[in-house]
Amino acid sequence: MSVSRFIASKLAGGDGRLSHTSNTIAWVSVALSMVVMIVAIAVVAGFKGEIRDRATGFMGSVMLVQPGQGPINELYPFSENLSYRQRLAAEPGVRGVSGVAWRSGLIKTDENIDGLYFKGVDSLYDFTFFKACLVEGSLPDYHGRISNDVLLSRTICDKLGFAAGDDVVVYFIGDEVKVRKFRLCGIYDAQLEEIDTKMAVLDRRQVQRLNGWASDEVSSMEIRIDPDADIARMSDRVEEVIFTAFDDGDTALFVTNVKKLYGHLFDWLALIDLNVWMILALMVVVAGFNMISALLIILFEQISTIGLLKALGMTSREVGRVFLLRAGQLVGKGMLWGNIAGIALCLIQKYTHVLRLDPANYFVSFVPIRLQAGPLILLNVAAAVLLMAIVSLSTRFISRISPDRTMRVE
């Protein structure tokens, strides 16, 4: 054990009553700040993950569309048999490529009428998202013969008075009015207004028949990517693949993504990010201020000890290291307990959903939590470095202490 560490340990066990109280306040302040910061980053990561999963779960992360058209296009189809489709599906981070067909329609009951977009998907479509938010009935099965199963949201069903298993009559208006009766196989709840109030799922072959399209013609192509993959970067990668593998027989398509389609949702998440940065900065400042206060109290109470150490030949830097080690002990203790308490609170909320929210305002019905090892480690390292950098400023007081004066202080 070094001399500085030995002296620091003795100071830890022999502090006065005032410094003991201030030290307790200091490490508790660090602990509370860590709790707030851990909860803040876990909640923001939870919100971002939940909203992204819901938006991409219905529409896909990256879409290929006709020039001048959006993903919901019922007028200008193109063939899904693109020469580069298999290459896209083999790209790292890509989970699947699906062709979808869209058609608008009206659902009419005796008391209400509602307009919807019907998304036609095939038997290979990934229903993971709908399985997670299914609240009644079952998922549709689009294998084999053309299916009459339709999937509607709980918002639409509550408005129109439908329950799973009911017949749903839909009017498709174009050059002529086409009437079709479907079976409501299941009800989902995405808790996103843009989806819950406007979107339904149907057999793609039904939509293609209604639109008068061939079996390989679709409105858009959806590319699903890994949950943690960067959407903008994947969009750029898809553009590169199309540019290098485009064939003369392929339809010229544009690349768009869910961030552009639901820009307001991601703008809201960016605003939350800004608020979190402000919270993190405020918590570090508060904890650092309390640490400086505690260290200054220790310095004033041990001023005669500082003079004695200097008289024995220790430099101001060496004496400062003694008190920095003492401050490091307080920071370490506070961070340890802060991590324990913060992670515990996050786990309680994650598995019990104690704190509830209004999905109409927050898009989710509970406070989402997503704990990630990387950000958590980075937070702890950054907090420790910043706190120690802040408290190191107070040790400059030591260089002004004169042994011949302080050794006479009782």
Q: Are residues 83 and 161 in the same domain?
A: yes
Q: Choose the final residue of a domain: 220, 252, 284.
A: 252
Identify whether 182 is part of a domain.
yes
Residue recorded with tokens 């299916």: 147
Domains identified in the chain, total number:
2
Neighbouring residues of 280: CB distance < 8 A, sequence distance ≥ 6? 37, 40, 41, 379
Q: Are residues 49 and 159 in the same domain?
A: no
Q: Are residues 246 and 282 in the same domain?
A: no
**pLDDT attached to residue 8:** 55
What is the distance between the alpha carbons of residues 55 and 45, in angstroms, rounded to a whole number? 15
Q: What's the whole-model pTM score?
A: 0.73
Identify whether 257 is part of a domain.
no
Identify whether 61 is part of a domain.
no
**pLDDT attached to residue 205:** 94
| Residue 165: closest CA among 149, 144, 146 | 149
pLDDT profile of the chain (410 residues), mean per 10: 56 54 78 87 85 82 90 90 90 91 89 89 90 91 91 92 91 87 92 85 94 92 89 91 86 89 78 79 78 68 62 64 76 90 92 83 80 89 84 64 52
Residue 255 · residue 229 · CB < 8 Å: no
Token pair listed for 296: 């200054």
Query: Can you give the residue range of the structural domain that contains 294?
Result: 3-54+265-406
**pLDDT attached to residue 394:** 66
Q: Are residues 139 and 209 in the same domain?
A: yes
- The b/e string for 181-202 (b: 16+ C-beta within 10 A; e otherwise) is ebebbbbbbbbbebbbebbbbb
- For residue 356, how many other CB atoms are within 10 A of its CB? 11
Identify whether 178 is part of a domain.
yes
**pLDDT attached to residue 106:** 92
**pLDDT attached to residue 336:** 93
Angle (nearest 5°) at CA 81 between 79 and 85: 125
Residue 310 · residue 408 · CB < 8 Å: no
Residue 221 · residue 64 · CB < 8 Å: yes
Q: Are residues 358 and 304 in the same domain?
A: yes
- For residue 245, how many other CB atoms are within 10 A of its CB? 15
**pLDDT attached to residue 149:** 94
Around 290, how many Cα atoms within 13 Å sit in the side-chain half-sphere?
Answer: 21
Q: Are residues 353 and 223 in the same domain?
A: no
Q: Choose the final residue of a domain: 198, 221, 252.
A: 252
Strand segments (E) across 213-265: 217-218, 220-225, 254-257
What is the distance between the alpha carbons of residues 19 and 24, in angstroms, rounded to a whole number? 8
Identify whether 260 is part of a domain.
no
What is the distance between the alpha carbons of residues 235 and 237, in angstroms, rounded to a whole number? 5
Identify whether 179 is part of a domain.
yes
**pLDDT attached to residue 409:** 47
What is the distance between the alpha carbons of residues 145 and 205, in angstroms, rounded to a whole number? 10
